[in-house]
């Protein structure tokens, strides 16, 4: 009986030790869609579905990735995106297309659109990179996008775009601003490419 009481007490102590870790506050961050485009961007009369980007397991997470060597991927402590990275990028892509005012309809695959085209993409890099001895990281975003014509599911155009933006300082909020800048440039290229591709 005494042994059982001791074991139960030890389990209770262990659980109490874990509670602070589970309840540690996490700062949530999000990024912004691209809203400014060249006036020469033409209007299109077709509908588009934006699929959630594919991503490797290290990026398919809400945690904010950081790379300190070419062979490791870590995450910033006590900080997270408001959604997992590919889902957040999908939302920002949809909002960026809507911001152009140049497309009849755009949405996620779940909204029931009958699309003329589907945008399929890969989120290949989405991390802050620290080089040895430099306390200020460079944010690296790289994506591949393919425009698929329906109903034949024929790829009519493909684009790979990447942007690197050096944070203005070591403060974490400055790193988030660099993420927003780098991703915004990638989103703008993908949106412009997509709207122009069928007419080429």
**Mean pLDDT across the chain:** 88
Which residue matches tokens 């690296």? 140
Mean pLDDT of 141-154: 96
β-pair partners for 140: 127, 164
User: What is the per-residue pLDDT for 159?
Assistant: 98
How does pLDDT run across 171-184, given as a tens digit for each residue? 999 999 999 999 99
**38 in Cβ contact with 101 (< 8 Å):** no
Over residues 113-139, mean pLDDT: 95
Which CATH number is 26-199 given?
3.40.50.10610
Among the listed residues 85, 162, 180, 173, the one whose alpha carbon sits nearest the alpha carbon of residue 136 = 173
Q: Express each pLDDT in 92-123 by its tens digit.
A: 999 999 999 999 999 997 677 789 999 999 99
Q: What confidence tens digit (pLDDT) does each residue in 31-58 have?
A: 999 999 988 899 999 999 999 999 999 9
- pLDDT at residue number 23: 53
- Domain boundaries defined on the chain: 26-199
The pLDDT of 84-89, averaged and rounded, is: 98
Residue 200: band (very low, low, confident or very high) from pLDDT cuts 50, 70, 90: low
Q: Which two tokens stand for residue 79?
A: 């900080």
> Does residue 65 carry a pLDDT above 80?
yes
pTM: 0.86
Tell me: pLDDT of 6 over 70: no
Mean pLDDT value across residues 62-69: 96
Burial class (CB in 10 A: 0-12, 13-18, 19+), 20: exposed
Residue 196 Cα to chain centre, angstroms: 23
pLDDT class of 16 with cuts at 50, 70, 90: very low
Whether residue 19 is predicted with pLDDT greater than 70 in this model: the reply is no
Q: How confident is the model at residue 132 (pLDDT cuts 50, 70, 90)?
A: confident
φ/ψ (deg, to 5) at 162: -145, 145
């Amino acid at each position: 009986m005494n042994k059982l009481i001791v074991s139960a007490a030890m389990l209770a102590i262990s659980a109490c030790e874990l509670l602070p870790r589970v309840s540690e506050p996490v700062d949530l961050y999000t990024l912004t869609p691209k809203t400014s485009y060249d006036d020469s961007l033409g209007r299109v009369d077709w509908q588009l579905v934006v699929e959630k980007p594919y991503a490797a397991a290290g990026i398919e997470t809400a945690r904010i990735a950081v790379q300190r060597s070419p062979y490791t991927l870590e995450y910033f402590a006590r900080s997270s995106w408001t959604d997992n990275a590919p889902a957040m990028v999908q939302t920002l892509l949809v909002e960026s297309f809507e911001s152009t005012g140049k497309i009849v309809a755009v949405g996620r695959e779940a909204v029931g659109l009958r699309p003329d085209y589907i945008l399929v993409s890969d989120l290949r890099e989405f991390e802050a990179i620290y080089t040895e001895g430099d306390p200020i990281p460079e944010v690296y975003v790289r994506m591949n996008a393919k425009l698929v014509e329906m109903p034949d599911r024929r790829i009519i155009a493909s684009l790979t775009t990447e942007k690197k933006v050096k944070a203005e300082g070591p403060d974490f909020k400055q790193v988030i601003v660099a993420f927003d800048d780098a991703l915004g440039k990638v989103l703008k290229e993908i949106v412009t490419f997509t709207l122009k591709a069928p007419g080429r």
